[in-house]
């Protein structure tokens, strides 16, 4: 089984996708992968989400996960569709236990020291920092990182192509989540691929290892 840490290291940006029509799933995924982004997070914010996951799992090279997982039933639905990892906006013991029991890589959301401590008590060391910009931006996460040196993060929420690099410069940030790659509405696939290519080329700060 691939760990959540290994998945987070596959590319610097994980597209956060809200897709309303299953027919758009394959073209969007293929454009993102062509641009160099293999890891795709499909949020459970639409009725089509589970089928979108199922459709994307049929694409060679795609690593497809479910985002906005709020309860155990959703976790099971996504697993049945082939989801390879799961992401939540917060951290609950119920979902942590359910993900462990099902052996699916899991990335819960945190925003405070208390959240991180509860996650550490549950045996976790990788978290989604959410909502990233509204929770104080890179300066806030840098302060948290200094207290929890062995923890690794994926900031998500409010990031843009212009601000992503500031987050990736933080030593303990392995990747970021970005919804800017696929705007709402009819997708311009050439623009999506171009945005993915720029995102996949983002350079992390040189220096200390991000192991």
Give the catalytic positions in this structure. Answer: 41, 128
CA distance linking residue 172 with residue 149, whole number of Å? 8
Cα 117 to Cα 148: distance, rounded to the nearest angstrom = 9
| Pick from 129, 187, 186, 185: nearest CA to 158 | 129
Contact 156, 132 (CB under 8 A): yes
Distance CA 114, CA 105 (A): 22
């Amino acid at each position: 089984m691939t760990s959540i840490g290994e998945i987070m290291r596959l590319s610097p940006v994980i597209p956060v996708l809200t897709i309303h029509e299953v027919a758009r799933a394959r073209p969007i995924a293929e454009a993102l992968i062509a641009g160099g982004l293999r890891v795709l997070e499909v949020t459970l914010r639409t009725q089509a989400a589970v089928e979108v996951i199922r459709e994307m799992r049929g694409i060679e090279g795609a690593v497809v996960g479910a985002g906005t997982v709020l309860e155990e039933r959703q976790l099971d639905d996504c697993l049945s569709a082939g989801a390879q990892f799961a992401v939540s906006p917060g951290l609950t013991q119920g979902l942590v236990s359910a993900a462990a029991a099902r052996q699916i890589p899991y990335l819960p959301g945190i925003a405070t020291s208390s959240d991180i401590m509860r996650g550490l008590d549950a045996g976790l060391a990788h978290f989604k920092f959410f909502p990233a910009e509204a929770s104080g931006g890179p300066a806030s996460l840098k302060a948290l990182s200094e207290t929890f040196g062995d923890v690794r993060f994926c900031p998500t929420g409010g990031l843009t192509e212009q601000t992503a690099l500031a987050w990736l410069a933080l030593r303990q940030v392995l990747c970021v989540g970005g919804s800017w790659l696929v705007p709402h509405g009819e997708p311009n696939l050439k623009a999506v691929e171009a945005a993915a290519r720029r995102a996949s080329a983002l350079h992390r700060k040189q220096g200390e290892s991000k192991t």
